[in-house]
């Protein structure tokens, strides 16, 4: 990918996210690096999967560049508070986990932004094996009407209590240890 193509992608990421910031740059660089390492293309369905360990700005760039989204089921959150992203390519079975390295020293926001745009991939990320197995493709579930609130709910979020199908909001919680 040449610099002009990268700049077009950056502008798309910035437009989607609403502003430019160091966090967006992290996801932008991670998505481009994963593309290079795994020969990824934009995912029209669930060919590419990303498991992100944070819910920060960079996730927006991953959505734009790789087509991973919550709605398609190929963007999953395994929140650990780390700037770490695991990428999977279903067709080849290849995967990689990219973990942001610490910045070299105390930097201002502007200095981090510049650093993240100018450093090499190797300076920015540790490349590790993905530690989580690739999840199965998203399932479609039957829906039921909650017999208390009347709202339609996916079958896997229905609980049967006293012979009635109830959504999680209406079902009473039972836990013998949470007294």
Alpha-carbon distance of 86 to 98, in angstroms, equals 6
Residues of each domain in the chain carrying CATH 3.30.60: 139-179
Mean pLDDT for the stretch of residues 47-64: 98
Q: What Rg, from alpha-carbon coordinates, does the chain have?
A: 20
Q: What percent of the chain is modeled with pLDDT above 90?
A: 89
Is 38 within 8 Å of 92 (Cβ atoms)? yes
pLDDT at residue number 174: 76
CA 133 vs. chain centroid, Å, equals 15
Return the pLDDT at 139: 84
179 band by pLDDT with thresholds 50, 70 and 90: low
Architecture of domain 139-179: 2-Layer Sandwich (3.30)
- Residues 70, 40: contact at Cβ < 8 Å? no
What's the pLDDT at 147?
Answer: 97
Q: Report residue 24 as tokens.
A: 């967006």
Helix H, strand E, coil C: the string for 85-146 is EEEEECCCCEEEEEEECCCCCCCCHHHHHHHHHHCCHHHHEEEECCCCCCCCCCCCCCEEEC
- CATH 3.30.1330.130 residue ranges of the chain are 3-128
More confident position, 25 or 136: 25
- Residue 51's SS3 state is strand
CA dihedral for 156, 158, 160, 164, sign (positive or negative):
negative
Q: pLDDT digit string (tens) for 79-119? A: 999 999 999 999 999 999 999 999 988 999 999 999 999 99
Q: Would you state the pLDDT for residue 1?
A: 84
Q: What percent of the chain stands above pLDDT 70?
A: 99
The pLDDT confidence band at residue 156, using thresholds 50, 70 and 90, is very high
- Position 97 scores a pLDDT of 98
Could you please state the CATH topology (level 3) that the domain comprising 3-128 is classified under.
60s Ribosomal Protein L30; Chain: A; (3.30.1330)
Average pLDDT of the chain to the nearest whole number: 95
Nearest to 47 by CA among 85, 76, 90: 90
d(C-alpha 52, C-alpha 84), whole Å: 6
The answer to which of 12-21, 120-129, 133-142 has the lowest mean pLDDT is 133-142
Mean pLDDT calculated for residue range 119-139: 94
Name the least confident of 10-24, 39-53, 57-71, 130-144.
130-144
Cβ-contact 46, 73 below 8 angstroms:
yes
């Amino acid at each position: 990918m040449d610099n002009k193509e990268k700049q077009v992608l950056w502008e798309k990421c910035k437009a989607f996210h609403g502003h430019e910031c160091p966090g967006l740059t992290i996801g932008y660089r991670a998505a481009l690096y994963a593309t290079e390492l795994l020969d990824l293309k934009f995912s029209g369905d669930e060919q590419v999967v990303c498991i992100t360990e944070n819910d920060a700005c960079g996730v927006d760039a991953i959505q734009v560049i790789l087509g991973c989204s919550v709605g398609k089921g190929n963007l999953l959150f395994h929140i650990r508070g780390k700037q770490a992203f695991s990428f999977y390519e279903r067709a080849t079975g290849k995967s990689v986990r990219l973990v942001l390295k610490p910045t070299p020293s105390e930097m201002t926001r502007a200095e981090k932004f510049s650093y993240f745009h100018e450093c090499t991939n190797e300076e920015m990320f540790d490349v590790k094996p993905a530690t989580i197995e690739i999840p199965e493709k998203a399932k479609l579930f039957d829906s039921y009407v909650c017999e208390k609130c009347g709202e339609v709910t996916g079958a896997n979020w229905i609980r049967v209590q006293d012979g009635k199908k109830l959504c999680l909001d209406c079902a009473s919680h039972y836990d013998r240890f949470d007294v």
